[in-house]
Amino acid sequence: AQSVTQLGSHVSVSEGALVLLRCNYSSSVPPYLFWYVQYPNQGLQLLLKYTTGATLVKGINGFEAEFKKSETSFHLTKPSAHMSDAAEYFCAVSRGGSNYKLTFGKGTLLTVNP
């Protein structure tokens, strides 16, 4: 069975600072990995995904993530935080082609301070 661990339930950064949200996964088969963002009182929106190929994945709103198989990690980064990035971020893993059965991490709430 796969699982996802997000280190840090709450991350606070200053506007313009680097954003780093950590995600580690466990999976017995090659994983498909996702980052979703949830703004207050809204549904989840896909930021980026890794399936196969290039291990550095670029997503929307300037975010990117790198798949590191040796470290079983898929950390999310953004060079310069903006106030509008304040939201909750979820890392998720899908086993193989089962894109209807995601296992989510517990989420990281990102606060951006002016």
Partner 1 sequence: NAGVTQTPKFQVLKTGQSMTLQCAQDMNHEYMSWYRQDPGMGLRLIHYSVGAGITDQGEVPNGYNVSRSTTEDFPLRLLSAAPSQTSVYFCASSWTSGSSYNEQFFGPGTRLTVL
For residues 64-83, which are near partner 1 according to CB under 8 A? none
Q: Does position 46 bind partner 1 by CB under 8 A? A: yes
Report helix, strand and coil shares of the chain as percent, to nearest 5: 5, 55, 40
What is the C-alpha to C-alpha distance for residues 96 and 89, in angstroms, rounded to an integer? 22
The region of 23-31, 66-74, 75-83, 90-98 touching partner 1 under the rule CB under 8 A is 90-98
Which residues contribute to the site for partner 1 (CB under 8 A)? 4, 9, 32, 34, 36, 42-46, 49, 51-52, 90, 92, 97, 99-107
